[in-house]
Structure 1
Amino acid sequence: MTEQTERSLTEPLPTADAPHPAGPHPESPALRPLREVRRWPRDFTDRLTAPLPGVRALARIAREGKLRPSAQALLDIPELPFEPGPLPEPGPREIAVTWVGHASWVLRVGGLTVLTDPVWSRKILGTPPRVTPVGVRWQDLPPVDAVVISHNHYDHLDLPTLKQLPPHTPLLLPAGLARWARRRRFTHVTDLDWWEAVELPGPEGPVRFDFVPAHHWSKRTLTDTCRSLWGGWVLTAPDGRRVYFAGDTGYGHWFEEIGSRYPDIDLALLPIGAYDPRWMLRPVHTDPEEAVRACHDLGARAMAPMHWSTFLLSAEAPLEPLRRVRAAWEATGRPREDLWDLAVGGSRVLGEGEGREVG
C-alpha cells in the first residue's frame, strides 16, 4: 500500500459541503446534523485495504468446491447454542446486550433501544436458510429508538426486517446508503463517513454514535460494488461507557486506531465466523484468533462473539468458531467472565462495575 493510499484511508472523503482536509481528521470530530442530505463520491474503492477477489479466485473456489461445511460437519447444527429469554431491563447506569443472531443485537444504551444490522428473516438472498431461529421475537421488542447498519450486504441490510419498523425510525447508515433508504420511504435517515458522529437524545442524556472504519467492502447488485461505505459503530452512553459494534471486518490496523481514538471501550461485539477458505476470506472476515487479538488492540475490557451460528456462509464446521474463540481467549490469560460467548437469544448486562448474565 502506498503512502498516499494509506493516508487517504484515515481521512474522510470530500463532500459538497466540506472540502477535503489538508491534514488528518481531528481526534474528536464535530457532530454532524441528523437527517442531513449530502453528496458523496461515485464509489469508495479507495477505502479498500485489500483487492477484491478476481476471476482467478472465483475459478479456484469453483474448482475446489469449498463454500459450505461438509455433510459430516453439519451434524453440529443441533448443538448450536440457542437460549432465548426475556429481554433485560437495565438500570439507568447499565448497558444491556441481547444477541438475536448473526450480527443482529438489541442494545439498551442510555435508555435507548438500538438494533444493529437487524435480520429477522429466515432466508436471505444467496445463502441457505438460517440454522438457528431468531433469538428475540419481533413482537417482544420494545419501541426501537435507532438502527445502525454496518454495510449493505444482504446478511446485514435486510429490507423485509426494516419494513417492519415505522418509517420515522432513525436509521444511521454508512456514507452513500441514505438515498437507498429514502427511496424506500424512510424519513429519518443519516449517513456518515468514517470518524463522523451524531447524537440521539435519551432519557439519561445524549447517546453518541461514531461511525468507524472496517476492513471490508460493499455490494448489493451487479453494478454497485463499493458504491456505499462500510464500517462499525462506537456507541457512547451519557456516562461515557462504550460499546463497539464491528459489523463485518477482517483483521488489520483499524482496531488499534479505533482503540486510540475511543479509549476504555467496555464491550466489543466482534465477528468470529465465515472465515474458511482462509486464502480468500482473510481480508474481510476475522477468524476467532484474530477477533481475540482485535479485542486486545481495541483495549476493550470484554468481548462478545457474533457472526457465527446463524447463516452458514463458508466452509468451517458450525461449532468450530466457538471452540476456537474459547481456546484463543484462554490462551491470553484474560478473565473467563470477560468473554461473553452468548447463545443466540442470550443477554448480558454491563453494570457499573462488571457484566452480569441474564436468564
Structure 2
Amino acid sequence: MTQQHRPATSPPASASTSAAASAQDTDRAAAYPPLAAPRPPGEYRVWPRTFHDRLTAPLPGLKAFARFAREGATRPGPAGLADVSRLPCTPGPVPRADARTVAVTWAGHASWVVRIGGLTVLTDPVWSRRILGTPARITPVGVPWSEVPRVDAVLISHNHYDHLDAPTLRRLPRDTPVLVPAGLGRWFHRRRFTRVTELDWWEATELDGVRFDFVPAHHWSKRTLTDTCRTLWGGWVLTGPDGKRVYFAGDTGYGHWFGRIGRRYPGIDLALLPIGAYDPRWWLSDVHCDPEEAVRAAQDVGARHMAPMHWGTFVLSAEPVLEPLTRVRAAWRAAGLPRERLWDLPVGGSRVLE
C-alpha cells in the first residue's frame, strides 16, 4: 500500500504530472479546436495583405531556381510519355443521385463532380483543353460540359492556373455560389459573380443543409508576378445532412495538417487526394504529395476510401505519366488496406458511396 501511494503523494511527481497534464490539455485544445459555427454566405471580409506566415516551408530561392534551370527536369522523357495512350479514360455521364446519395465523378486533374445532400458541387473546375504555361491535356475531360447537372456550388482550393480556370468559370451563371480561400473573392467579384464566400482555415459555411469547412494544406498561391501568397490555399471537408463526409485536399504536400484534419472531422468517408506532379522531389516535396505520401495522408485523416487525383491530365513534372497510378496501388497494398477502398478511377469514372 505504501509503495502504491508514494508516487501520488510525492511533490516532485505530482508537480510533474500536473505540468504534463496541462501540456497535454494545451496540445489537445490546439489539435481539437471546436468546430466553427457556419459563417453567413457572401459576407464582406477584410483580410491581411499577405499569407506568407501560413507557408509550411519557405518558397524556393535563387539557388533552387538555378539548380532547376540546370537540370531542366520539367517533363518526362520519351519513355515516360510512351504510355499516354494507356492512361485510363472513360468519359461518361454523371450518375443519378438523390439527397441521400454521395457520388463522385472525376473530370480530370483536381476537377470533381460531387453529389452530396442533394447538391451538385464542382471542385477546382478546369474544362479547358490547355492552361497557361502547360501543354494541352493528355486525356479528354471526363465529363462533357453538357452532361454536368445544374451546379449548386463551386469550391476553389487556390489560385494556380491548373485549379482556377477563368474560361471554365465563364460557363457558369454569375449567381452560382462560389466558396473560395481568404483573399480570392475580389477575383470573382471582378468577373461579376454575386454569391462569393471567402473563408479562412477552420471556418465553415452552409448551403441547403450541407456544411463546407475550409481546412489547411501544405501549399502556396500565386497567379501573377506580384501576388505571391496574397490569397490563401487549402482543402475542403463536405458534410452532408446525414453526416457523410468527403474531404477534397486540393493541392498539397504531406505534413502535419492531415492528422489535425482527421481529428477535427472524424468519420471521413472519402478522401480525394493528389498523387501526381511530384518529380523531382527536391523541388516539389514541400507542395505536392507523391503516391506513398498520399496513402499515408488518407490514413492520417482516417478516410474509409481514397480516390486519387491530380495525375493523368496535364504534364506538370518529370515522372512517367502512368507511374503515379502504379505507385499508389503498390503503396495501398503495402499498407495492408482493403483493395476495394482504393477508388483509382479512370478519367470520367464515377463511384457511389454506399
- TM-score (ref. length: structure 2): 0.91
Instruction: Give the 3-state SS of the residue equivalent to 2:41 in structure 1.
Output: coil
Residues 34-183 of structure 1 correspond to what in structure 2 (within 5 A)?
A: 34-183=41-190
Please name the residue that 1:213 is paired with. Answer: 216
**1:276-318: CA deviations, max 9, x gaps?**
0000100000000000000000000000000000000000000
Q: CA RMSD in A?
A: 1.2
Q: Which residue of 2 aligns with 1:313?
A: 316
More helix by share: 2
Give the aligned residue type for 2:138.
V
Q: Is 2:261 the partner of 1:258?
A: yes
- Residue equivalent to 1:338: 341
Q: Does 1:229 align with 2:235?
A: no
Q: How far apart, CA to CA, are the structure 1 residues paired with 2:32 and 2:221? A: 23
CA displacement at 1:25 relative to structure 2: 8.3
* Structure 1 residue ranges, 4+ long, deviating more than 6 angstroms after superposition: none
2:137 counterpart letter in structure 1: R
CA contact (8 A) 1:25 1:195 kept: no
Q: Which amino acid aligns with 2:100?
A: R
8 Å contact 2:220–2:232 — kept in the other structure? yes
When residues 225 and 148 of structure 1 are mapped into structure 2, their CA distance, relative to the original with a 3 A threshold, is same
Change (3 A) 1:24 1:318: closer
Instruction: Give CA-to-partner distance per residue, 1:120-172, whole Å, 9 cap, x none.
Output: 00000011111000000001111100000000000000010000000000000
| In structure 2, distance between residues paired with 1:275 and 1:199 | 34
Q: Provide the C-alpha distance between the structure 2 equivalents of 1:43 and 1:184, rounded to a whole number of angstroms.
A: 22
Question: Which letter maps to 2:171?
Answer: Q
Q: Is it true that 1:290 corresponds to 2:297 in the alignment?
A: no
1:300 aligns with 2:300: no
CA change 1:24–1:33 in 2 (3 A) is farther
Tell me the SS of whatever aligns to 1:259. Answer: helix
Partners of 2:92 and 2:144 within 8 A in 1: no
Letter in 1 for 2:43: E
Give the 3-state SS of the residue equivalent to 1:252 in structure 2: coil
Q: Secondary structure at the match of 2:78?
A: coil
Alpha-carbon distance in structure 2 between the residues aligned to 1:264 and 1:176? 30
State how far apart, in whole Å, the 2-side matches of 1:73 and 1:336 are.
26
In the aligned structure 1, how far is the partner of 2:326 from the partner of 2:128?
27
- Aligned residue number for residue 326 of structure 2: 323
Contact 2:90 2:142 (C-alpha < 8 Å) held by counterparts: yes
Q: CA deviation at 1:175?
A: 0.2
* Structure 1: distance between partners of 2:31 and 2:309: 32
Aligned to 2:194: 187
Query: Quick one: percent identity of the two aligned structures?
Result: 73
Aligned length: 326
SS at match of 1:143: coil
Unaligned runs of 5+ in 1: 1-22, 352-359
String of CA shifts for 1:209-256, please: whole Å, max 9, x gaps.
000000000000000000000000000000001000000000000000
After superposition, give the CA deviation of every residue in 1:290-349 in whole Å (9 maximum; x if it has no partner). 000000000000000000000000000000000000000001111100000000000000
- Contact 1:212–1:258 (CA under 8 A) maintained in structure 2: yes
Larger CA Rg, structure 1 vs 2: 2
1:95 Cα deviation (Å)?
0.4
SS in 1 for 2:89: coil
Task: Using structure 1 for the length normalisation, give the TM-score.
Answer: 0.89
Do the aligned partners of 1:96 and 1:350 also contact (CA within 8 Å) in 2? yes
Deviation at 1:24, TM superposition (A): 8.3
* Unaligned segments of structure 2, at least 5 residues: 1-29
Q: CA deviation at 1:54?
A: 1.1
Q: Tell me, in whole angstroms, the C-alpha distance in 2 between the residues paired with 1:25 and 1:200.
A: 24
Shift of 1:26: 3.4
CA distance in 2, matches of 1:36, 1:70: 48
How far the C-alpha of 1:75 sits from its partner, in A, is 0.6
Query: SS at the partner of 1:235?
Result: strand
Shift, 1:71, TM fit? 1.4
Distance 2:153 2:281 in 1: 35
- AA in 1 matched with 2:53: D
Q: Displacement of 1:86 after TM fit?
A: 2.2
